[in-house]
Chains A and B, each alone.
Chain A
Amino acid sequence: MPESTRPYSDTEMMACAAARLLEDRRSVLVGTGLPVVAAVLAQRTHAPQLLIIFEAGGIGPQVPELPISVGQSRTFHKASAASSMHDVMSALQAGYVDFGFLGGAMIDQYGNINTTVIGEWEKPTARLPGSGGANDVGSLCQRTIIIIRQDRRRFVERVNFITTPGYLSGPGARERAGLPEGTGPYRVITQLGVYGFDAQTKQMELVSLHPGVTREDIQINSSFEILIPAQILVNERPTAQEQAILHEIDPLGISIGK
């Protein structure tokens, strides 16, 4: 692949990092925005047999361009099935869905996410949209990938409201609560790098940095301590081909920027 010299944005980097995590011949539940952009990018590069699923019923579409809503006709364009939410959510619950994407307003060290409320639930400072399908994705998909911008306000010690379960209070908590075995947050992608979760403690740990980012940047932009292993990879910048495809999927730059 030719080395790209075209400047790139951190949003493009996040989309590429997300796409590269998706494996061919697997299934992924996507929402609007960067998740669908990443899934289509994966499909058009290394994962042509990636099964894309939308919660409102679109199963296996050939997504022609960025959908604005999770239920619009673009989400079942030339699809295998235009089905229902009951059908898709049942597939999640039964174990057919390998990856699920999540966004969020705030995340904590165990990957718990808040998209419901800032301040007290009874008298909110800011009311956010709520779970939507996010809790179902976080509860029922095999591995979830969270895409979120990172700063001290968003990376918090404890979220004030767990809209979507990560590892809850730590090791074993998901299983004790009754969530399906072996499920949970797999990766967190921010503008600074990619994180995973320590196998024992289930705390967030750094996996790789985006080009030009330092370990210090990681910690400065988090209110909790992020585990930093001895070996850290550096992600490859977006290639020319990846950049071209991103703008093909989102020609107006709604999610990916101009």
Chain B
Amino acid sequence: MVGWHDPDENRRWIQENKCRHLVDKRMSVRQAVEKFVQDGNFIAFGGFGHIRIPMALVYEIIRQHKRDLVLAGKTAVHDADLLIGAGCISQVEVAYAFGHELRGLSPAGRRAVESGQVRVVGEISNAGYQWRFLAAMMGIPFIPTRTMLGSDTLEYSSCKVVRDPWSGKPVCLVPAAYPDVAIFHVPRCDPYGNAQINGILVEDFELARASRRVLISTEEIIDPEVIQNEPSRTVIPYYLVDAVCEVPFGAHPTNMPYLYFFDEEHIAEWLDLSQTPQGTDEYFERYVYSVQDFEEYLERVGGVRKLNYLRRVEQFKAPMIAPWRKTK
């Protein structure tokens, strides 16, 4: 089982390590990863699949050659594929991984699992995973659910079946999961870490509260007054947060709802290059190791012209494309 702690142990950790007062947490992506991502950590990313993925921090983890990370495969798609391809991950607990939804399967991820380079430590469903985070955020050891019962997904998970003491029916207990570090990309956040999100939250609300360390990259850093004027929109309050990094277009090439669409050309390039280990290395050389930072990366993927185009697609002003589509 990954990510479990005795609830009292985790309470103690929170008491000793999380500050309850306002601190300016702004720092660079490099500092955030150096300070809060350690080799061997159990790590999770906010967003979903190719949506609102904190890519600037993903690239930085690769650049700093972090190793032996244990990944929460909570519909981990582009983030998982790149981190596995770069050799940062050694274990994955899988709800959904090694695929790119309609874009097809993931060559790098599958190669790593089938060769034994990456080990799948357990299965679970999407609901099961996010309820692991719900239990953790509530500070309780598990949550009873009615999903996965009777399946091999349950058999190969860290869940247990017991009888509900009231109805007598079997229920599935999903154990709390506390990531060592969780990383999110949001549209706006203040210097203290009060973060707001537009559109679906997926499981970011629960994940941020379950994780010991929380790193945020944001399209823009805003004045705390903006938060205070509309506090009902705050999804992640400051006391959960350890680092705030300002990174415009920080989710590229994934979709940032209302702001920019997927960069399908770039995703297609990754899917193509990652067919072979040589191509995978070539991708990282071109887009991670040979650039100083995310700003230089954005230049390399097409700069202002490309980013304006992605804005137009998101706003239905330019048609979507599917360059990864196999011609049948």
Are A and B genuine complex partners? yes
Interface residues of A, Cβ cutoff 8 Å to B: 32-33, 55-58, 64-65, 68-73, 75-76, 82-86, 89, 92-93, 116, 121, 123-136, 139-140, 161-165, 168, 173-174, 176-180, 251-252, 254-255, 257
Quick check: B99 and A68 within 8 Å, CB to CB? Answer: no
Give Cα distance in the complex from A41 to B169, angstroms: 39
Tell me whether chain A's interface is mostly helix, strand or loop, or mixed.
Answer: loop
Closest CB of chain A to B18's CB: distance in Å? 23
Quick check: A163 and B151 within 8 Å, CB to CB? Answer: yes
Quick check: A252 and B321 within 8 Å, CB to CB? Answer: yes
Closest CB of chain B to A77's CB: distance in Å? 9
Quick check: A55 and B126 within 8 Å, CB to CB? Answer: yes
Quick check: A84 and B205 within 8 Å, CB to CB? Answer: yes
Give Cα distance in the complex from A164 to B172, angstroms: 15
Quick check: B149 and A165 within 8 Å, CB to CB? Answer: yes
Give Cα distance in the complex from A178 to B145, angstroms: 10
Quick check: B113 and A127 within 8 Å, CB to CB? Answer: yes
Q: In the complex, how many residues of chain B place their beta carbon closer than 8 angstroms to a beta carbon of chain A?
A: 69
Report the nearest A residue to B99, measured CB to CB.
A129
In addition to A89-B127, A179-B149, 4 A-B residue pairs with Cβ atoms within 8 Å of each other are A64-B316, A139-B146, A162-B151, A177-B149
Is B165 an interface position by the 8 A CB rule? Answer: no
User: Which residues on the A side are within 8 Å of B161 (C-beta)?
Assistant: 178
User: Which residues on the A side are within 8 Å of B110 (C-beta)?
Assistant: 126-127
Give Cα distance in the complex from A82 to B48, angstroms: 14
State which of B156, B199, B328 has its C-beta within 8 Å of the C-beta of A257: B328
User: Which residues on the B side are within 8 Å of A84 (C-beta)?
Assistant: 200-205
Quick check: A124 and B325 within 8 Å, CB to CB? Answer: no
The 0/1 profile, CB within 8 Å of A marked 1, for residues 269-306 of chain B is: 00000000000000000000000000000000000000
Quick check: B257 and A135 within 8 Å, CB to CB? Answer: no
Is B212 an interface position by the 8 A CB rule? Answer: no
Closest CB of chain A to B232's CB: distance in Å? 14
User: Which residues on the B side are within 8 Å of A136 (C-beta)?
Assistant: 125-128, 147-148
Pick the interface stretch among B54-62, B89-97, B237-245: B89-97
Closest CB of chain B to A101's CB: distance in Å? 14
Could you give 11 example pairs across A and B, Cβ below 8 Å?
A86-B131, A121-B120, A124-B114, A129-B96, A130-B96, A131-B123, A131-B125, A135-B153, A179-B149, A252-B320, A252-B322
Is B236 an interface position by the 8 A CB rule? Answer: no
Give Cα distance in the complex from A121 to B114, angstroms: 10
State which of A56, A64, A116, A124 has its C-beta within 8 Å of the C-beta of B200: A56
Give Cα distance in the complex from A162 to B151, angstroms: 5
User: Which residues on the B side are within 8 Å of A257 (C-beta)?
Assistant: 328
Which of B52, B98, B150, B328 has most A Cβ within 10 Å? B150
Report the nearest B residue to A139, measured CB to CB.
B147
Closest CB of chain A to B26's CB: distance in Å? 28
Is B248 an interface position by the 8 A CB rule? Answer: no
Give Cα distance in the complex from A164 to B151, angstroms: 6
Which residues of B196-210 are within 8 A (CB) of A? 199-206
User: Which residues on the B side are within 8 Å of A72 (C-beta)?
Assistant: 50-51, 255, 257, 262
Pick the interface stretch among B2-10, B28-36, B101-109, B216-224: B101-109
Quick check: B199 and A162 within 8 Å, CB to CB? Answer: no
Report the nearest B residue to A164, measured CB to CB.
B151
Quick check: A128 and B151 within 8 Å, CB to CB? Answer: no
Quick check: B48 and A56 within 8 Å, CB to CB? Answer: yes
Report the nearest A residue to B124, measured CB to CB.
A131
Report the nearest B residue to A55, measured CB to CB.
B126
Give Cα distance in the complex from A35 to B282, angstroms: 37
Give Cα distance in the complex from A247 to B113, angstroms: 37
Is B170 an interface position by the 8 A CB rule? Answer: yes
Closest A-B pairs by Cβ, 10 of them: A177-B150, A178-B170, A57-B200, A129-B99, A132-B96, A71-B48, A89-B127, A135-B125, A71-B51, A73-B257
Report the nearest B residue to A11, measured CB to CB.
B328
User: Which residues on the A side are within 8 Å of B125 (C-beta)?
Assistant: 131-136, 139
Closest CB of chain A to B130's CB: distance in Å? 5
User: Which residues on the B side are within 8 Å of A75 (C-beta)?
Assistant: 200
Give Cα distance in the complex from A32 to B102, angstroms: 7
Give Cα distance in the complex from A69 to B114, angstroms: 25
Is B134 an interface position by the 8 A CB rule? Answer: yes
Report the nearest A residue to B198, measured CB to CB.
A82
Which residues of B130-144 are within 8 A (CB) of A? 130-131, 134
Report the nearest B residue to A253, measured CB to CB.
B325
Quick check: B147 and A140 within 8 Å, CB to CB? Answer: yes
Closest CB of chain B to A164's CB: distance in Å? 7
Which of B49, B97, B321 has most A Cβ within 10 Å? B49
Quick check: A130 and B101 within 8 Å, CB to CB? Answer: no
Quick check: A132 and B102 within 8 Å, CB to CB? Answer: no
Report the nearest A residue to B259, measured CB to CB.
A73
Report the nearest A residue to B170, measured CB to CB.
A178
Report the nearest B residue to A57, measured CB to CB.
B200
User: Which residues on the B side are within 8 Å of A254 (C-beta)?
Assistant: 102, 322, 325
